[in-house]
Structure 1
Amino acid sequence: MHSKDGTPKPARRGRPTGDHAAKRQELLRATSAVIAQEGYAKASMRKIAKHAGCTTGVVTHYFSNKEELVVALLEHAFDRFDVMLKGIEESGDIKRLSEEWMKLTSRKNAFWPVTSELLALGRNDPVFADIIARRYANFRRKYVSILKAAQKRGEVRDDISADLLTDYLVAIGDGWMLMNPIEPKRFTPARMRKLLDSLMALIAPPASS
């Protein structure tokens, strides 16, 4: 936890008190901030505790070790994707899907840089790989359902299956996410708007002759 001037508050000692769920979320935010600043490899429990303004003992009260903490952070990232998709399913607004995705990139937070690091962990760690595969499969199923509904309404081209379109769109989004932390000057809000508008044009039904 930080004071108004941005400096870490002194670490609190003793048994954790208060809202358990709220404290877990606070520690996840601290973990995200540390990973964004220093990368996953350097994100130690000590640094996370310091950023949260508590002791490492408080952190381990909620999360046994760094892996458990980062697994929770990865699950939380996918939870945000699911919330986004649920809103799209309820509204039936296919354009809003790209707009909501853009919001995740334009907010002044660490969502994209951190998420890209977490996804990269799946390359060498079977625990993270299993989580990513499971949650991505669920994400794609929902995405396919949204696109199929939009195809029936005539809002999305139907000459390519919703399943294939989903793979294309997810791959494009992942590519942007991975490159955004590396080339932030290229992914300005204005450029992201143009990229997403052009993406919508690509999946739109062909203009009638």
Structure 2
Amino acid sequence: MSQQDRRLEVSEAAWRVIVREGLDRASMRAIAQEMNCTTGVVTHYFRNKQELILFALHQVTERLKVRMQVAIENVAGIDRLATMLLSFLPLDQERQEILRVWVAFLGYAVGRDGLMEEHRQSAAELRAVIIQELQALQSKGLIQADLVPQVEANALLALVNGIGIDTLIQADHLGPGQQEAIIHRYIAGMVTGQC
């Protein structure tokens, strides 16, 4: 097994501990126990918890990007934008776990510049993709010509983030169907001018 594969294995063990017990309990020791190995094995690949968390956060971002790319293959027009946004919502067990890990990382990143910068970079990359998509839709006349893609990208990111966080708070009241309906309703407003 390569060093990168082993680092991914440690990162996945960290995810499992975080989802089950929370980030504050995801110590190097707890992660080692999750892997049935010694703490020394974990520290061989990551010097400390912050380095491991930074790597795991990067893996969250990569998983979401891959999920989005797969979801939008063979989808065009306004449906492509909706599919792109829906790929980030916690509509299934895997994405619910990704959301829990992402929210835990976000809280942990407050006051830690390196981790907060990783969050900023991830958001900036996603924002750029959404802006590009909105510009393409505008050039094809599929959404209003007077919309400002940068502003709409911010609104869409805020909407997706808000829906995601709200599902953690009130999962019983914001199921997958409602999440999808909210996204489709907002996008329909971009077409009709009533968003």
Is 1:164 matched up with 2:155?
no
Instruction: State whether structure 2 residue 77 is matched by structure 1 residue 98.
Output: no
> Residue 67 of structure 1: CA displacement?
0.5
Deviations 1:1-33 (A, max 9, x none): xxxxxxxxxxxxxxxxx2332222222221112
Which residue does 2:51 correspond to in 1? Answer: 68
Give CA deviations for 1:119-163 in whole Å, capped at 9, x if unaligned.
223332111111112232222122111110011112222222100
Query: Alpha-carbon deviations, 1:28-76, whole Å to 9, x = none?
Result: 2211121112211111111112222322222112111111111011112
- 46-55 or 167-176: which moved more? 46-55
**Alpha-carbon distance in 1 for matches of 2:172, 2:84:** 21
CA contact (8 A) 1:154 1:205 kept: no
The answer to whether structure 1 residue 107 and structure 2 residue 92 are counterparts is: yes
| Structure 1, 85-94 or 113-122: larger mean CA deviation | 85-94
Number of residue-to-residue matches in the alignment: 190
2:175: which partner in 1? 188
Q: CA 1:160/1:129 → structure 2, altered by over 3 Å: closer, same or farther?
A: same
Contact kept, 8 Å, 1:34 with 1:43, in 2: the verdict is yes
CA RMSD of aligned residues (A): 2.3
Higher helix fraction: Structure 1 or Structure 2? 2
How many percent identity over aligned positions? 26
Please state how far the C-alpha of 1:100 moved relative to its aligned partner: 4.5
Deviates more, 1:21-30 or 1:81-90: 81-90
Aligned pair in 2 of structure 1 residues 55, 69: CA closer, same or farther (>3 Å)?
same
- Where 1:133 maps in the other structure, the secondary structure is helix
Amino acid at match of 1:152: S
Decide which structure has the larger Cα Rg and report it: 1
Q: Give 1:95 deviation, angstroms.
A: 2.0
- Is 1:29 matched up with 2:12? yes
Q: 1:72 to 1:94 in 2, by over 3 A?
A: farther
In structure 2, do the counterparts of structure 1 residues 142 and 26 end up closer, same or farther at CA, with 3 Å as the change threshold?
same
Q: Give the letter for the 1:102 counterpart.
A: L
2:103 equivalent to 1:120:
no
Out of 55, 59, 63, which is 2:42 matched to? 59
Unaligned runs of 5+ in 1: 1-17
Q: State TM-score, norm by structure 2.
A: 0.85
Shift of 1:195: 1.8
* Structure 2: runs of 5 or more not aligned: none
Provide closer, same or farther for how the CA distance between residues 166 and 186 of structure 1 changes in structure 2, counting only shifts above 3 A: same
Which stretch of the first structure deviates more once superposed, 181-190 or 109-118?
A: 181-190
